[in-house]
């Protein structure tokens, strides 16, 4: 079983028609890493490149794709759990002190 990203990378090699030297070496490394550790490829020979593509294509037909989704946070709790802010204003005390923001003037209780 392979991931979708790895399947896409291997499928890219089977659909590529113009190989650069780096592409051929990358395909060789992918084949060696995946299913044939002794595989070598001549980067100038079109027949060997096509044979490598055929090997990948037949290998992909036998694989199933899985998607492994790893949770970023291991808990099910929300990240931020704040209480709703509530303000209680004592009207009598506010009248005594006054406020410059809401233009409440100070009441002098004599």
Please state the domain count of the chain: 1
- Average pLDDT estimate for 37-58: 90
Domain that holds residue 45: 2-66
Would the pLDDT of 59 be above 90? yes
Q: Is residue 14 part of a domain?
A: yes
pLDDT at 29: 93
Q: Going by C-beta distance under 8 Å and a sequence separation of 6 or more, which residues neighbour residue 54? A: none
Q: Is residue 74 part of a domain?
A: no
Long-range contacts of 69-75 (CB under 8 A, 24+ apart): none
Q: Is residue 94 part of a domain?
A: no
Asked if 66 and 42 count as a contact pair (C-beta separation under 8 A), the reply is no
Question: To the nearest whole number, what is the mean pLDDT of the chain?
Answer: 79
- 53 token code pair: 């593509």
Q: Is residue 16 part of a domain?
A: yes
Task: Choose among 19, 9, 59, 66: nearest CA to 42.
Answer: 19
How far is residue 17's CA from residue 26's CA, in Å, rounded to a whole number? 15
Question: Euclidean distance between the first and final Cα of the chain, in Å?
Answer: 86
Other Cβ atoms less than 10 A from the Cβ of 105: the count is 9
Tens of pLDDT, residues 28-47: 999 999 988 999 988 888 88
Q: Is residue 61 part of a domain?
A: yes
Q: Is residue 89 part of a domain?
A: no
Q: Is residue 50 part of a domain?
A: yes
Q: Is residue 75 part of a domain?
A: no
Which pTM value belongs to this model?
Answer: 0.58
Other Cβ atoms less than 10 A from the Cβ of 36: the count is 13
């Amino acid at each position: 079983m392979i991931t979708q990203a790895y399947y896409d990378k291997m499928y890219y090699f089977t659909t590529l028609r113009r190989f650069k030297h780096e592409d051929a070496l990358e395909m060789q490394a992918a084949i060696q890493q995946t299913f044939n550790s002794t595989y070598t490829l001549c980067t100038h020979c079109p027949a060997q490149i096509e044979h490598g593509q055929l090997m990948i294509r037949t290998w992909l037909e036998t694989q199933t794709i899985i998607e492994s989704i790893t949770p970023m946070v291991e808990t099910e709790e929300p990240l931020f759990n704040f209480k709703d802010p509530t303000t209680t204003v004592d009207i009598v005390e506010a009248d005594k002190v006054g406020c410059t923001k809401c233009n409440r003037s100070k009441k002098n209780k004599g």
